Structure 1
Amino acid sequence: MRYFIWLSYTGGAYCGWQRQPNGMSVQQRVEEALATILRQPTLLTGAGRTDAGVHARRMAAHLDTDVPIDDPAGLVGRLNRLLPPDIAVWSLDAVRPDAHARFSATARTYEYTVTGVKDPFAPPAVHRMVLRGVDFEAMNRAAATLLDYRDFTSFSKLHTDVKTNLCHVTRAEWRRQGDRWTFTITADRFLRNMVRAIVGTLFEVGRGRLSEEGFRHVIEALDRNQAGDSAAAEGLALVEVHYPADIYL
């Protein structure tokens, strides 16, 4: 039987979602908790992989098990009692045998949030930085041009093993919420480090170091060295993974 597990986590204590030989990952923590409850090794396949320090408000993964799960809500409760405070499981849903957490996803949405105000009650997925003089209207105009392109090599981590750098971005905009600004971006897929590289380059526009036309030239150059520095990981969160409704049983 195949199930989708939906969870949230703050990534500050982890080397990312995916298992790594040199540190604790979110995937490893959840797999260990599942193995304890189900009394058998249980492997998860995630919708993607978030980097070290990156957060997820709604991450999806699938698991296969021969152990009947008659009480999914009860299993969720037991998992949450075993898992540390920075990981929360929300639901466990039966899906079709061919449903795949990564390949069945039609889109993913990330948010990057910044503030210029010191706030001890700010949630973890907020990056504090100097925002004085930053032109968010110019950043929004530049961000809108992302929808005109498909090849995002300029915003991809170098030397990755992906076969294509083509992505279809359907939303890219900054919105203000009180003392915070949030960049929301939705695409069918994302490259390694793509959102943080885009945000870092947009701040070059906002600070007047790069024109909006220059932002287009960065995209068209297909060269990571032409883009700005990557924004800090702590401001980034995966907020939704989108699936067709017919994958659920």
Structure 2
Amino acid sequence: MRIALGIEYDGTDFLGWQRLSHGASVQASLEQALSFVAAQPTTVTCAGRTDAGVHGRCQVVHFDTDAQRDMRAWVLGACSNLPTTVAVLWAQHVSDDFHARFSARSRRYCYTILNRAIRPALDARYVAWERQPLDAQRMHAAAQALTGEHDFSAFRAISCQAAHARREVKQLSVRREGDHVIVDIEANAFLHHMVRNIVGSLLPVGRGEESVEWVASLLAGRNREVAGPTAAASGLTFIGPRYERHWGLPEEVSE
């Protein structure tokens, strides 16, 4: 039987989603907890891997098991055996042809910048900090050049192992809410560090150091070396994937 889970996590103290031999990962913590509940080794497949320090609002995973447990037991049993920075939000049966990664139609991220003169204290784990004033409207205007299907080589980490750099950005917006500047982006898939590199290139525009048209020129040039630096991991949260409604998953991950 195949089961899907929704997972929430604070990524600050993890080396990323993916299981590693040399440090803590969200995947390893979840698999250890599920294996305890199932009383047998359990491995999971996720919708999208996140890097060290990046958070997850509703990561979706699936796993196969012959252990007979009700959905409440999977949720509560796993949560009881997870660190306090990881929680299982929901669990449900899915058909055997559901795949957390390959069935996803898109993925969504949110990047939050605290834009004030004083560094954060309470929210330091969940925001990036920019002390210089940012013009969110300029950032939003610059970001629109990135919507649609493009080669995103200019915003791709050198270590990226994807077969190609073409991705489709379905929507990208920048808005201000008080002291916070928020970047929301949805795409069919993302390259390694793609969101953080995009934000790192929008920041000079927001500070008035580069023109609104600069981001479009970076995209066309496909040269990572001349784009902005990679923005801090702390501000990035994987909101979650989207699936077709016929899979019957919760509303927050369905379209």
Sort the TM-score into its range (normalised by shorter chain): over 0.9
Matches within 5 A, 1:165-180: 165-180=165-180
Q: Structure 2: how far apart are the matches of 1:219 and 1:138?
A: 17
- The C-alpha deviation readout for 1:124-158, integer Å capped at 9, x for no partner, is 321222132x2221111001111144111111111
Shift of 1:120: 3.9
- The C-alpha deviation readout for 1:202-233, integer Å capped at 9, x for no partner, is 00111222212221110111121121101000
- Are the equivalent residues in 2 in contact too, given 1:144–1:172 (CA < 8 A)? yes
Q: Tell me which residue corresponds to 2:187.
A: 187
**Unaligned regions of 5+ residues in structure 1, if any?**
none
Q: Tell me which residue corresponds to 1:34.
A: 34
Matches within 5 A, 1:1-249: 1-69=1-69, 71-115=70-114, 116=116, 117-122=118-123, 124-132=125-133, 134-248=134-248
Q: Structure 1: how far apart are the matches of 2:246 and 2:126?
A: 32
Q: Structure 2: how far apart are the matches of 1:101 and 1:148?
A: 24
Q: Structure 2: how far apart are the matches of 1:141 and 1:5?
A: 37
User: RMSD of the alignment, in Å?
Assistant: 1.5
- Are the equivalent residues in 2 in contact too, given 1:96–1:248 (CA < 8 A)? no
Aligned length: 247
Q: Structure 2: how far apart are the matches of 1:203 and 1:125?
A: 18
**Unaligned regions of 5+ residues in structure 2, if any?**
250-255
| Secondary structure of 2:157's aligned partner | coil
Shift of 1:22: 2.0
Q: Structure 2: how far apart are the matches of 1:61 and 1:112?
A: 22
Q: Structure 2: how far apart are the matches of 1:90 and 1:19?
A: 21
* Paired amino acid for 1:220: A
Q: Structure 2: how far apart are the matches of 1:178 and 1:213?
A: 26
| Secondary structure of 2:59's aligned partner | strand
Q: Structure 1: how far apart are the matches of 2:3 and 2:124?
A: 30
| Secondary structure of 2:171's aligned partner | strand
- Are the equivalent residues in 2 in contact too, given 1:7–1:59 (CA < 8 A)? yes
Shift of 1:166: 1.1
Shift in CA distance, 75/123, structure 1 to aligned 2, threshold 3 Å: farther
Shift of 1:75: 2.1
Shift of 1:48: 1.1
- The C-alpha deviation readout for 1:72-131, integer Å capped at 9, x for no partner, is 112211211111110011011111101111110001110000112555443732122213
* Paired amino acid for 2:102: F
* Paired amino acid for 1:109: R
TM-score by length of 1: 0.94
Q: Structure 2: how far apart are the matches of 1:149 and 1:130?
A: 33
TM-score by length of 2: 0.92
Q: Structure 1: how far apart are the matches of 2:131 and 2:124?
A: 18
| Secondary structure of 1:103's aligned partner | coil
| Secondary structure of 1:212's aligned partner | coil
